[in-house]
Amino acid sequence: MESESTSRRETRTGSAFEVLRVFLLLGCTCFGGPIAHIGYFRREFVERRRWLDDTTFTDLFALCQFLPGPASSQVGFSIGLLRAGWWGGLAAWLGFTLPSAILMAGFARIAGLLDNAIGQGLVHGLKLVAVAVVAQAIWDMARRLCADRVRAAIALAALAVLSMLVTVYAQIIVIAGGALLGLMFCRTSTSADARNLSHDAHAFALPRVASVIALVLFCALLVGLPALEALLPGAWMLRVVDVFYRSGALVFGGGHVVLPLLQQATVASGWISANEFLSGYGAAQAVPGPLFTFASYLGWIMSPASHHALGALFATAGIFLPGLLLVIAVLPHWQALRVRPPVAALLAGANAAVVGLLASAFYSPVWTSAVLSAADFAVAVIALILLTRWNVRPLLVVLLCAAAGIVESYVR
The domain of 272 spans: 208-324
Question: What span, in angstroms and rounded, lies between the C-alpha atoms of 48 and 25?
Answer: 14
Question: What span, in angstroms and rounded, lies between the C-alpha atoms of 26 and 64?
Answer: 19
Residue 359 lies in a domain: no
Residue 345 lies in a domain: no
Residue 42 lies in a domain: no
Question: What span, in angstroms and rounded, lies between the C-alpha atoms of 169 and 261?
Answer: 13
Q: HSE-up of 125 (CA within 13 Å, CB side)?
A: 23
75-120 per-position pLDDT tens digit = 999 999 999 999 999 999 999 999 999 999 998 887 666 667 777 7
Residue 310 lies in a domain: yes
276-285 per-position pLDDT tens digit = 776 777 677 6
CB 290 within 8 A of CB 64: no
Residue 365 lies in a domain: no
Residue 239 lies in a domain: yes
CB 352 within 8 A of CB 158: yes
What letter does residue 167 receive in the DSSP assignment?
Answer: S
- Cα dihedral across residues 143, 144, 150, 154: positive or negative: negative
Residue 229's pLDDT is 81
CB 131 within 8 A of CB 380: yes
Torsion angle, alpha carbons of 147, 357, 375, 33, to 10 = -120
What letter does residue 207 receive in the DSSP assignment?
Answer: -
Question: What span, in angstroms and rounded, lies between the C-alpha atoms of 9 and 312?
Answer: 37
* Domains of the chain: total: 1
The closest alpha carbon to 43, from 146, 136, 130, 126, belongs to 136
Residue 302 lies in a domain: yes
CB 32 within 8 A of CB 129: yes
Three-class SS state of 169: coil
CB-based contacts of 116, cutoff 8 Å, min separation 6: none
Between the two ends of the chain, the Cα-to-Cα distance in Å is 66
The closest alpha carbon to 130, from 253, 43, 37, belongs to 37
Residue 155's pLDDT is 92
290-312 per-position pLDDT tens digit = 989 989 999 998 888 778 899 99
327-376 per-position pLDDT tens digit = 999 988 876 777 778 888 887 888 788 788 778 878 876 788 789 999 99
Question: What span, in angstroms and rounded, lies between the C-alpha atoms of 305 and 270?
Answer: 17
Residue 20's pLDDT is 97
Residue 216 lies in a domain: yes
Place 51 in a pLDDT band, splitting at 50, 70 and 90. Answer: very high
Place 10 in a pLDDT band, splitting at 50, 70 and 90. Answer: very low
Residue 198's pLDDT is 41
Question: What span, in angstroms and rounded, lies between the C-alpha atoms of 314 and 154?
Answer: 41
